[in-house]
């Protein structure tokens, strides 16, 4: 089963079920993950900075391409509500601007 490892969250890799978004997989694993628009691709609060495995993810959605063109989403970032992982293993980090204040992150990693 495909997995998502979030380096700055203190937990094991998250299994991503076929067809599930990364956000759905993170929530199913018990992670509190920001998504201000209710996972509709209308904001960028659910973004993930992808460190490896970006080529394994589904192509960017229209919303992601629009936010990239506006400079609100970096080429190395994906919206977890829009992105699926059909196969393989992806590693990422929660960007500091979208971290919750009540969640403990491992921000001292390189």
Backbone phi, then psi, for 101, in 5-degree steps? -70, -25
76 neighbors 93 (Cβ within 8 angstroms): no
Residue-wise pLDDT tens digits, 11-66: 889 999 999 999 999 999 999 999 999 999 999 999 999 999 999 999 999 999 99
As a CATH number, domain 3-92 is 3.10.20.30
Give the HSE-up count for residue 92: Cα atoms under 13 Å, Cβ half-sphere: 28
Q: What is the pTM of this model?
A: 0.93
């Amino acid at each position: 089963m495909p997995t998502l490892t979030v380096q700055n969250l203190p937990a094991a890799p998250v299994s991503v079920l076929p067809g599930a978004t990364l956000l759905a997989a993170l929530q199913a694993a018990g992670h509190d993950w920001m998504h201000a628009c209710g996972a509709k691709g209308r904001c960028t609060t659910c973004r993930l900075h992808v460190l490896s495995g970006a080529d394994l993810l589904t192509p960017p959605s229209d919303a992601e391409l629009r936010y990239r063109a506006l400079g609100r989403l970096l080429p190395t970032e994906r919206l977890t509500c829009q992105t699926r992982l059909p196969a393989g293993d992806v590693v990422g980090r929660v960007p500091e601007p979208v971290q919750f204040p009540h969640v403990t992150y491992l921000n001292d990693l390189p």
